[in-house]
Amino acid sequence: MMRKKGVLILNLGTPNSPSVRDVRVYLREFLNDPRVIDIGRIAQLLLVNLIIVPFRAPKSAKEYKKLFKIGNGKSPLLTYGKSLTRKLRSLAKNEVDIELAMRYGSPSMDDVLSDMRMKNYDEIYIFPLYPQYASASTGSTIEKAFKIINKWWVIPEVKVIGQFYNDQNYIDCIVNRAKSFDISNYDHVMFSYHGIPERHVDKVYLDGKPCADHSCEDEINVENANCYKATCYATTRLLVKALQLDEGTFSTCFQSRLGRDPWLMPYTDLTIEKLGKQGKKKILVFSPAFVADCLETTIEIGEEYLELFKEHGGEELQLVPSLNDYDDWANGLYNIIKEKIN
């Protein structure tokens, strides 16, 4: 008898609407996650609920309104997620069930896993759609899934499909998105990844040494294989090779930092300022950490960084679309799933 299998694909999440109230609810759930802000529980609760959320929610709501307008009144992240799920289900036929949930917001992991529980799967696969492992994204999602499933009386085999930054399907699909642009027409290519605090990558290493002591910008080895910084730089190297970029024509950087603590460097905004001052006029930007366009790509890169670049002498900053729900990505993602479940 064939074993009954279900795969839960997950992305970070989105507010239900761009209203201040819904953005506030979303930010509270997100920023109260101990893996996101890891400063001690009491300090985190005070900082998030009394300082960050009250002041940040109105500002973020304005940005989400722009994003939802672009998405015809809906969250692009959720729209792409639902469309991608439909395509995966079509590819899977009866081989495996595919479900979608968000780590924060709706559809919630609690609701979707509750529905999956009722189907009596022999095997459940948790697949966070983050190409590079980070405790604040992949780790948090896996931890949440196991917390939910741990309460079930009957627990099926539960497996995790981990990071896939070096999977050829993923690399090929990013390269395919670049084919819409003539890279030779750009002065510089940027690979901008979501930033995280430096202490998050320092915690990866059990030898007590910081990330800076582990050659993370130059190689993947046994020690740094799960270091976010190392896998981001490794992703850049794979894409540079596939795109045949020359040394000195590209850079790796990190965006979306929050607070005053040091985050992974170089920072995307400061790199853009520097390139503008150097006389660069046209920049092409990839966002390999995001498999679907969202606030950080469409608004932060596509609008805010474009404005910043122009303020410092630049003319054009072009964002390469994320993988979203393109057919080749649906096929590539299903190839990854098939390899892991068979």
pLDDT score of 2 more than 90: no
Supply the pLDDT for residue 258. Answer: 86
The answer for residues whose C-beta is within 8 angstroms of residue 146's C-beta and 6 or more apart is 158
State the pLDDT confidence band at 94, using cuts at 50, 70 and 90.
confident
Backbone angles phi, psi at 13, to 5 degrees: 135, 180
What is the CB neighbour count within 10 angstroms for residue 282?
14
Provide the b/e sequence for 252-274 (b: ≥16 CB within 10 Å): bbbbbbeeeeebbeebbbebbbe
The domain in which residue 56 lies consists of 5-164+326-341
pLDDT score of 210 more than 80: yes
Does some domain include residue 170? no
Written as six digits, the tokens of 10 are 């997950």
Does some domain include residue 171? no
What are the pLDDT digits (tens) for 248-260?
Answer: 999 999 999 988 8
Q: What is the mean pLDDT of residues 81-110?
A: 97
Report the percent of the chain where pLDDT is more than 90: 98
Whether 223 and 82 share a structural domain: no
Supply the pLDDT for residue 251. Answer: 98
Written as six digits, the tokens of 237 are 């190297």
Q: What is the mean pLDDT of residues 279-286?
A: 98
Report the percent of the chain where pLDDT is more than 70: 100
Whether 117 and 260 share a structural domain: no
Whether 152 and 259 share a structural domain: no
Number of domains in the chain: 2
What are the pLDDT digits (tens) for 150-189?
Answer: 999 999 999 999 999 999 999 999 999 999 999 999 999 9
Supply the pLDDT for residue 57. Answer: 98
What are the pLDDT digits (tens) for 58-86?
Answer: 999 999 999 999 999 999 999 999 999 99
pLDDT mean across residues, the chain: 97
